Structures are given as C-alpha cells and as structure tokens.
Amino acid sequence: MTTLAGVHATEVPLTQSLPPADADQRRAIAPVIAYPPETLPVPDRALHARARAAARKLSEVTVPAREGASFRVPAGGFFRISCPEGAQVGDLNLFNADDPSERFYSGKTRALHGTHLRVGQRMWSSFPSLRPMATLHADTLAWYGTDPHGGRVHDVIGTRCDPYTHWLLSGGAQYHHCCHSNLTRALEQAGVAGAEGLVHDVLNVFMCTGFTPDTGQYFMKASPVRAGDYLEFFAEIPLLGVLSACPGGDCGAEHSSDSVPCHPLRVEVWETPAEILAGWTPPAPNGYDQSHGR
C-alpha cells in the first residue's frame, strides 16, 4: 500500500532518524575492549633475546620493486624485512610451511592486538589452529607512534591492493603488479598449488595508515620508513612467507602504479641453534574440540 505522499505504509517514518532526547548520554557510554588481551599466552621475550644473540644467518632474499618473492624460516628462527635503498612498503603473507592451509589471520590479529602491530605482539593463524605464527621482536619504526592524523605503521587493516578492485576503479584496466598478483605468483613459484585461493589479507609492513575521523575511511600516507629500517620476527612455527614490494612505493600518493618511485625490499633469515631452544616447543594448535555443539 502507498500513501498519498508516495511512501509505503510499511516503511519506517523518517522522524525516527532524528536524535532522541538522550542522544548525548548514549554516545557517552564508555567503550568495552572486545577481546581483553590479559589472558593471552605471553611470548618469552627473554628466550627470544637469547635465541637472537646466538642465531646464525641462513639465507637472504631480495624482493624486486613491484614484484614478490618467497622465503622459508625454521621454527625458532628469525626473519627480518628491511628497506635497503629507500622508502618502500610491503605486503606480507605467512603460511605454515608444512601445511599452507594454515595461514595468517589478519582480522583476528587485529581483534586481539589492535589495528597496527607492535613489538611483543603476534601474527595469529587461521581457524582451526588459531595459534601464534610469528612474534614481532624488533622494530626500528617503533618511535613513530600515532601521528596527528591518527596514522600508525604496520597495519592489519588493509586487505592488499588487487587487480580486481583496480579493474573496478580504473574503468577496466588490467594491472598485474598489484600485491595480490605479486603474492600469487610468489606462492606459485614456491610450489604451492591453488596459490590465489590461499593468498590472504596481509600485514602491511612499513605502511602508514589510519581512519579519517569524519567519514571513517581507510587512509594511507607517505611511510616514515628510511633506508636501513627493519622489522624482525621470531618464527613460532615453521614458516613459508611471501612478500610483495608494493607498486605504490611509500604509498604517499597512490598504489597500483608504474609511475611512483619504488624500491626493493630485503628478507634475511636466521636459524637458532638447537641447544638454545632446548625445552621450547612451537605452540600447539588451538584446543577447541571443533564439535560446534553438534
């Protein structure tokens, strides 16, 4: 049924969108942290420090500008991602090296730790394992904190630049160096079947991001990363990593571009001697019984 004003009788009256008398009190209700972190297992930072001091370099990989590459890290080892030449952000995927179906879960990592990863926090794996994959051990950009725009570095907000969204926003252009494509090719080259279906939302290494206060839109700005800066992680389980040197360079202007300046990234891997890790074991998969109440 339609009224004389052309409004369906079943529609909610427009007046109900007006603020109620207690609107300010409703907005003033204090927030509650959805996933309090106090009961999470605590990383053994002292063990990590001993292990890092004794670790021996195992390998090094250069990720060319606008391309991707893979690397492997033994459990109990370390990997470092650095900018050897100039400001450059990267998109990181992690997999269980023995079972690539277990992969980094950026959404749960964000829920447990916040929008941007900090030293001592962890990259968590997907269901049903949901366990630590890597712990952030060192960060030369830890000084950056939160800038006046609300920007921070190393986010688990953004998905990854991809050719499908690029096609939508560009009016149909085909671009093959988006991070999604770079990660897909790198994973294929590492010998993993069905690579594109396994590529997942990323840790945006060195990227400076946040949300606009008025519209809540995801923003990026020029990364503060300098040549020589790095992130270093302790591998909680055996890892296969794939890293893309984003075609947006420092992401200060645009991404998915062949015109902005871009630089390579470097990944270095260290192995920890077994005697240093005596008594340590990789975290077990999550203990939920997976019955789902059936």
- State the pLDDT at residue 148: 97
Instruction: Kindly state the tokens that stand for 228.
Output: 């020589």
- Listed in sequence order, the residues at least 6 apart from 141 whose beta carbon sits closer than 8 Å to its beta carbon are 153, 154, 206, 224, 225, 229, 231
Of 77, 97, 87, the closest CA to residue 242 belongs to 97
Q: Rounded to whole angstroms, what are the CA distances from 75 to 85, 166, 244, 273?
A: 29, 37, 22, 11
What single DSSP character describes residue 119? T
- Regions of the chain with pLDDT less than 50: 1-4, 7
Span 5-44, pLDDT tens digits: 554 555 656 567 899 999 999 999 999 999 999 999 999 9
| pLDDT at residue 246, rounded to an integer | 97
Phi and psi for 112 in degrees, rounded to 5? -85, -35
Q: Are 150 and 115 in contact (CB under 8 A)?
A: no
The pTM (predicted TM-score) of the whole model is 0.92
Q: Quick one: pLDDT at residue 11? A: 60
109 and 123 in contact (C-beta within 8 Å)?
A: yes
Residue 2: what pLDDT? 45
Q: Which conformational region is residue 215 in: left (phi greater than 0), alpha (psi within -120 to 50 degrees), or beta? A: alpha
Contact 115, 152 (CB under 8 A): yes
- Residues for the chain: how many in total? 294
Please give the C-alpha separations between residue 226 and each of 88, 91, 230, in angstroms, as whole numbers: 8, 17, 9
